[in-house]
Structure 1
Amino acid sequence: MLKVGELAARAGLTVRTLHHYDSIGLLSPSARSDAGYRLYDRDDVARLQQIQALRAFGMALSDIGAYLDSPEASPLAIVERQLKALDQQIAEAAQMREQLLRLRSRLAAGDETDMSIWLTTLEQMTMYEKYFTKEELARLPLYQNPAAQAEWRELVAHAHGLMTKNVAPGSQEANAFAVRWLEQLERDTGGNPAFVLQLTAMTSQDPEVQQQTGMSPALQAYMRSVLAELRFTIHARYLPAETVERMRRHEAAHADEWIVLATRIRACLQLDPEARSMEARQLARSWFGLFTDMVGDDPEVIAQFRLATRSEPLLRLGTGIGDEVIEFLRKAMENLHAQA
C-alpha cells in the first residue's frame, strides 16, 4: 500500500489534492496506518487513474463521483475512452505533421505564394475549431482535406464573379453552378445535414469567418437566392405555378427563420430524441407553421411537395434537414396530438 505522499509523487499530484479528494468523498483511502497515515491500495490507485482521466475529458469533480458510482462506468470503459481520445490526438498530430512537411517543402523551394496558401489553410483550421468539436472535425471531410478547402476558395471566387456579372438566379448558368455548389457541399460534409447547418451558421454569424472565406453578407444573400431558384425550378415540375410563386415570396420573407429553427431543432433532438418535451412540441408547431405559410394547406399540394422531395435528390442537399429531423418532428406532433 502507498502512503499519501508516495501516491502523490507517483501520480504527479499534490498531497493537498489527494486530501481534497478524500474530504469530498471522491477518493478515500482504503486503510490507515497505526500512526493515522492514509494508505492506498490497488483499487484506490485504479480509481485515481479514472478520476484523472475523466478530469482530462472536462468532467467536473462534482460529477465524477456520481459517474464512477453509476452502472455505466467501468475501468475498461474509461480506458477505451482514453484510447479513443488518444487515437484522435495522434490522427490530428499526423495531419498537422503532413501539413508542416508540405509547408516546409514549399518554403525550402522559396515559393512564397504557396506559403500564403498554407497559412490561410491553417487559419481556416483554427476557424473551424471554434464551431466544431474535435470529434466532429475528425468526421468533417472539409476540415481533413486541404485540397477541398482550396477548391472552396475557387468556388467562392466563381460565385463572386457571377454576382459581379449580375448573372440572374434561376438562369441556366446560375442553376448549373448551384448544382455544382450543392454536390461539393454534400461531398465535403460527408452527407451530414448537421454539418451543413453548422457551416451555414458559421458563415452567417461570424464576420471573421466571412472575411477569411470571402463569404460576405452580400454573397451569402446571392447564393441563397441562387440555391432557392434552383429548388423552385425543380418544384415547378410537381407543383402549380401559384404555389411556386408562394414559395418564392415565403423564401424572401422567412429564409433566415428556417436556419434558426433548424438549429434549435437539432439542439433539442440531441437532448430529447423522443420529442417528449414542451420545447419539442413548440418547435414542431413553429416548423409546421412555416411549412403551411410556404406551401399552403391543400392536401394534394402537400402530397406533391413530399413526392418532389422524395424523388429529387437535389432538393434534399444543402438544407441542413435530414431524415432524423423529420422523424423528430413526426414524434413531436404525435406527442402533441396525444396530449390534446
Structure 2
Amino acid sequence: MMWRFVGRRTAMLAATALVASIAIYGALFISPGDPATLLIGGGKPPSPELLEAIHRQYHLDDPFAQGYWRWLTGMLHGDAGQSLTYRDSVNNLVADRVGNTVFLVAYAALLIIVPGVVLGTLAALRGGWGETLVTMVTTALMAVPTFVMSVLLIWWLSVQWGWFPAYGAGTGFAGRVEHLTLPALALAASWLAYVAQVTRSAVRAELGSEHVQTARSRGIPERVVIRKHVLRNASAPIFSVSGVAVAGLIAGCSIVEQAFGVNGIGALLIQSAAKQDLAVVQALALITVVVFVAVNTLVDVVTAALDHRVSLGAGT
C-alpha cells in the first residue's frame, strides 16, 4: 500500500511539472515585447535584417509546439539555454547563485523549525500566561508581510543598532551567517509563527486524547507520557507543517533576496523578468515549481509513514 501511495505521489509530481512547464512556456511565449532587443541595446532602432538574424539564431520565431519541445528536451538534458542579458548559459548563472539561495533557505528553515516547535510545545504543555504570550506574538508575526519585516529588520538591527550587515551574502561560512541572518529572519518570521501555532494545537489535542489519559491513569511517568504518547503522535502534523513552511521559503525567497541584495536565484528571477530574459525566467520558474512540488510530495510520504491514521487509499 505504501509503495502504491509513493507511486501515485510521484506520478502527480511528474504531471504537475509537465502542466507547469506548458503554462510557464506558454505565458512567456505570448508575453509582449521582443527579447532580441536585449542584444542590441539603446541607440537607433535596429534593422529588420539584424532582428531576423537574432530571431533565427535563438529560435525566437519557432512555433509554440516546436519551441516548447526544444526547450523541454533541453531542460531534461540539463541545458537550460542561453541568457540574452548576461550573454552566458543559464546553467552557469544558476550555478553561481544557487549556493546563496540554498544557504538562505536552510538557515531560515532552521530558524523556523527549532524555535517554532519548541515555543509551540512549551505553550501547550505549560498553558497559562506563557501560552497567551506565545499566541499573541505568533499571531502578530503572521500578520506582518515579508517585505515589511525586511524593512523593519534593516532599520532596527542594521541601521539603528549596527548588529548585522544589510546587504550582500558574504563569503565563507561565518561571513554568510553574518550577512544572511537578517534575510533569514525576515523570511522565517511568519512561517515560524505558523509552525508554533500548529505545534501548540497538535500537542494540546494529544494531551486531551483518550490514550494519554489512559497512560496517566496507569501511573506511567509524565515525562514518558509526553515523549512517547504526546510528542510522537503530534510529530506527523508538526512535520507536515514544517515541510510546507520549507516549501514556502523556496517560493518566497525572491522578495528577501531582492530587499537585502543577496545574489541568489530569487533575485536573478526578478531581475531577469524585468529585462524580459525569457530563457532565465522559464528555467528558474520551472525549477522553483518542481522543487516546491517535490518537497510537498516528500512531506506527504513521510507524514503517511509517521502517522498510520493517514489514509493511503486512492482518494487521498
TM range (shorter): under 0.3
Please identify the structure whose Cα radius of gyration is greater.
1
Give the alignment's TM-score, normalised by structure 1.
0.26
Q: Higher relative contact order by CA 8 Å / sep ≥ 6: 1 or 2?
A: 2
Question: TM (normalized to structure 2)?
Answer: 0.28
